[in-house]
Amino acid sequence: MKTLVWLIVGAFVIVFVLTTFIPYSPARVTAEAYFSEREIDVGLRYAFERRFFMWASIALELGLLMTLGMTGLARRWANRFLAWTGQRSILAALGVGLVYLTLHEILQLPIGIGRYYHAKSWGMANYGLDGWLYDHFLTWGLTLASGAAIVSGLYALLIWFPRTWWLLASLGLGAFGVVLTFLTPILFAPLFNDFTPLSQTQWKDQQPRMQSLIAQAGVTVQEILVMNASRQSNHTNAYFTGFGSTRRIVLYDNLLKKHTPDEIESILAHELGHWRHDHIVQGILLGLFASIFGLFLLHCVLRWAIGRAPWRLASIADPAGLPLILLLAYLGSWVAEPVGYAISRHFERQADQASLDLAKHPDAFIECEKKLARDNFMNVAPTPWNVWLFSTHPPTVERIRMAEEWRKREGQ
């Protein structure tokens, strides 16, 4: 057990040092063709500082989960909750989960506040600490509710279907993902921000050309909404969301304030590209296959842990196994994330290609990428390992070069 602990800690230390203190980046040379030396340095410094908050959060989370998942502490907690609940495993598991989430919150809240003040010092946070705390605890409340539903469903399957629970749980998670995707735009997102139809904003004059682009793309979009992102920060962004009748495109008000109509059209075409390629559906299906594989491995580990120290599980449905499940899920996500990020970057390249093909504004596309990088203090010269491990989008310079190649190919 000690050897395993040291292997896990050693792996995270190596990745931390590699991604934080090894500055090698051939991307800097190419980035200098599009950004000033100061802009490159600002992005590098901002990313470097933010990385310490990320790794502090990871260290605390990993320490908490290893303490709970690889010692006898979970066994003692589970025994207490089983005694208090009359040996009801689902209720006991909820109790163990509540203790974990409470400890998680106690450890992570100071780091979250630190991140807030760091963003404030860089001019990226607009609301006060009270506003940040409101959003934070609202998110925590939603996490508690969704976590309770997932843990209850998981332990019900472990009890009733001990041999096939992993397959049923995978299907359940897939269905949960579909429902969440459907409900988020109409139920959860409005808890944090206001969403106004573009036609009812000061940018309503852009509605006709956007509708024309949507028609050209052959995509059904319920609404184009403007989000008051400036309530929280100065970040500029846009995203597509929803499923079926709740599909919509959301534009940050910061984005509309800072970008030209051609640039905004280029961004809209990018979001339409995601729908043309059915990226939401593909993402859900890929997640389903990954969860089947991951939960089957978890099933094997839980069976192996029965009767073994320090867990001494009575069965795979023993509530004492919940911290072990959380630890394995956390470690598994780190193993799987580079693959997931590679797929995400592939999706983003497809959406970029669709943007160029639909909007046909390569110059606006390039200028938009530059503005997004400057406004969000993006690292435009990332190291290869940071791209592989953490980047959901291709590097900015790669996206700019794609537009240049498209312009040359199309003779524009």
pLDDT value at position 23?
Answer: 66
- Whether residue 310 is preceded by a cis peptide bond, meaning omega within 30 degrees of 0, is yes
| Tally of residues, the chain | 412
Q: Is residue 101 exposed (0-12), middle (13-18) or buried (19+ Cβ within 10 Å)?
A: middle
* DSSP one-letter code for 313: B
Q: Distance of CA 7 to CAs 2, 68, 71, 241, 389, Å?
A: 9, 17, 16, 39, 19
- Per-residue burial over 269-285, b = 16 or more CB atoms within 10 Å of its CB, e = otherwise: bbbbbbbbbebbeebbe
Residue 174 to residue 198: CA distance in whole angstroms: 32
Give pLDDT tens digits along the chain (412 positions): 677 778 888 888 888 888 887 766 677 888 999 999 999 999 999 999 999 999 999 999 999 999 998 888 999 999 999 999 999 999 999 999 999 999 999 999 999 999 999 999 999 999 999 999 999 999 999 999 999 999 999 999 999 999 999 999 999 999 998 899 899 999 999 999 999 999 999 999 988 988 899 888 888 887 899 999 999 998 888 888 888 888 888 999 998 999 999 999 999 999 999 988 999 889 999 999 999 999 999 999 999 999 998 889 999 999 999 999 999 999 999 989 999 999 999 999 999 999 999 999 999 999 999 999 999 999 999 988 889 989 999 999 999 999 999 999 987 6
Residue 212 to residue 215: CA distance in whole angstroms: 5
109: tokens are 């809240």
pTM score, whole prediction: 0.91
pLDDT value at position 244?
Answer: 81
Residue 389 and residue 338 in contact, taking contact as beta carbons nearer than 8 Å: yes
Nearest to 282 by CA among 343, 338, 354: 343
Residue 263 to residue 265: CA distance in whole angstroms: 5
pLDDT value at position 412?
Answer: 64
* DSSP one-letter code for 306: B
pLDDT value at position 391?
Answer: 94
Helices 322-359 & 261-276, crossing angle to 10 degrees?
120
DSSP string, 35-104: S-HHHHHHHHHHHHHHHHHHHHHHHHHHHHHHHHHSSTHHHHHHHHHHHHTTS-HHHHHHHHHHHHHHHH
DSSP string, 278-305: THHHHHHHHHHHHHHHHHHHHHHHHHHH
Residue corresponding to tokens 């690889």: 70
Residue corresponding to tokens 């010692």: 71
Contacts 24+ apart (CB under 8 A), 2-7: 4/70, 5/66, 5/70
Residue 299 to residue 111: CA distance in whole angstroms: 34
Three-state SS for 259? coil
